[in-house]
Amino acid sequence: ACLDVVNWFKNQGCYVIGGVPTWWRTGDRDSRPGFIDVYHAFHMISPWMVGRIGSVADADNFYNVATVPDLADCAAHGIDYQPCVLPGTLNLRQRAHGDFMWRQFYNMTKAGVQGIYISMFDEYNEGNQIAKTAETQAWTPTNSGLLALDEDGTACSADYYLRLTGDGGRMLKGQIALTPTRPTQPVLSGGGDTVPPSAPGALQSTGHTDTTVALAWTAATDNVGVTGYRVLRVSGGTGTQVGTTSGTAFTVTGLTPATAYTFDVVALDAAGGVSQPSNQVTVTTDATSSTTDLALHKPTSESSHTQNYGSGNTVDGDQNTYWESANNAFPQWLQVDLGGATTVKRIVVDLPPATAWATRSQTIAVQGSTDGGTFSTLLAAGAHTFDPATGNTSTLTLPSAATTRYVRLVFTANTGWPAGQASGLHVFNA
């Protein structure tokens, strides 16, 4: 009977729009089973949305599980698709001063929809309105139980959600660039700050481990003052907040080893203004920490050696055998070929453990190369102490993990003997 009604209107030349359940395509939850033929008979489908999402994370999940597959189904059946965007229920504190609604605009535009339905214009009783609304609690009726637009601590003008909707429409039409960062400022009148901060500059990674990435950037500027920064992890064009800071550096934690991540940063001001994003930076975390010695039994080479103290002694697994360069002829170098481009973060150098090897300091730099011909500095020259009382070993940790095949140690001084010396050359990826 429902299909007959739809077809009757179509036969009269009407363009028939179906306000359908959220899960119309899958035929479960709020949808009656067996209605897919009815849904496919409409010229346009507009699914129910209110109450289905309440946060930015919900909006992103809905984009993946509903919007994208719904749009594909409609395209396959020649049906127009008009999803719903809502500001969020004030009394449930869902609005996040516009970030919730803007993420929906962003997701729908990114998906490629041609039209958007806004819910609702003046539905004050459910707190879902975009029409002019009380800016502060002082404007609300006594004992009404209603919340004002500043419920999360950010001042918003009464017309804020009308302006936000206008900007969402402009993004949908391609009049402004697709961006996950809300361009609409919460306050434009009443003497508030109306100018957003400038974008942070020169975002870069200052270091990383297997589960962390350290970021730094140059400060943004603002006509009143920058109050902080929001750090975003970007994937598929969508930025997800991973932290905030009042400074110009932040370390992202909880990452997966050996994985590439892209980040950008936006600046914030006290009026809720948000800058355009900084440049993006992509960083690959280190491989999982390992105790495997990557240099063990690998080919070695050297600048020189004395008697039978060749470089191969440093990778034979025996701390009592050692390499010693020519005397009184600094600089000298010791090198290992790891066999292929490898992540390197830490090098351990040994001397024989016998107490006859008195405490000494060797000045060592670390260089790396992928072709064995052109080398770059991985760790600047520094003094490293070897003490038999603590195992006669020294650890050289790179400032950040490097990808290299050839690891070269360059010796320029030794307080115990006028030559480069090492009984062990151990290389680790973390």
| Cis peptide bond upstream of 331, omega within 30 | yes
Query: Could you say which DSSP state residue 128 is in?
Result: -
- For residue 96, which of 274, 238, 249, 237 has the smallest C-alpha distance? 274
Tell me the average pLDDT across 399-425.
Answer: 96
SS (H, E, C) 322-353: CEECCCCCCCEEEEEEEEEEEEEEEEEEECCC
Question: ∠ at Cα 240 (213, 246), nearest 5°?
Answer: 65
> 3-class SS at 257?
coil
Structure confidence at residue 120 (pLDDT): 87
Token couple for 424: 């062990």
Q: Quote the percentage of the chain above a pLDDT of 90.
A: 67
70-93 residue pLDDT tens: 999 999 999 999 999 999 998 899
Structure confidence at residue 312 (pLDDT): 97
User: Are 29 and 8 contacting, i.e. CB atoms less than 8 angstroms apart?
Assistant: no
Confidence of residue 270 (pLDDT cuts 50, 70, 90): confident
pLDDT above 90: residue 208: no
Q: How far is CA 16 from the centre of its chain?
A: 43
Structure confidence at residue 258 (pLDDT): 81
pLDDT above 60: residue 110: yes
Average per-residue pLDDT for the chain: 91
| Cis peptide bond upstream of 120, omega within 30 | yes
Token couple for 185: 């400022």
Give the Cα separation of 65 and 242 in Å (integer). 23
- For residue 424, which of 343, 299, 312, 307 has the smallest C-alpha distance? 312
338-395 residue pLDDT tens: 988 888 999 999 999 998 999 999 999 999 999 999 999 999 999 999 999 999 999 9
Amino acid sitting at position 387: D
Domain 201-284, CATH among 3.40.50.11540, 3.40.1190.20, 2.60.40.10, 1.10.10.60: 2.60.40.10
Structure confidence at residue 128 (pLDDT): 85
The edge-to-edge listing of strands for the beta sheet with 213-218 is 201-208, 213-218, 249-252
Structure confidence at residue 235 (pLDDT): 85
Amino acid sitting at position 172: L
Tell me the average pLDDT across 241-248.
Answer: 89
Q: How far is CA 54 from the centre of its chain?
A: 23
Query: Could you say which DSSP state residue 276 is in?
Result: P
pLDDT above 90: residue 279: yes
Least confident residue range of 210-214, 216-220, 368-372: 210-214
pLDDT above 60: residue 36: yes
Give the Cα separation of 352 and 56 in Å (integer). 60
Give the Cα separation of 86 and 47 in Å (integer). 13
Bridge partners of 250, per DSSP, are 215
135-148 residue pLDDT tens: 888 888 777 778 88
Structure confidence at residue 292 (pLDDT): 82
Greatest CA separation for the chain: 104
Tell me the average pLDDT across 48-56.
Answer: 92
User: Are 416 and 387 contacting, i.e. CB atoms less than 8 angstroms apart?
Assistant: no
Structure confidence at residue 146 (pLDDT): 84
- For residue 346, which of 206, 209, 204 has the smallest C-alpha distance? 209
Structure confidence at residue 194 (pLDDT): 64
pLDDT above 70: residue 189: no
Least confident residue range of 7-21, 23-37, 190-204: 190-204
Please name the fold of domain 300-428: Jelly Rolls (2.60.120)
Domain boundaries, the chain: 49-172, 201-284, 300-428
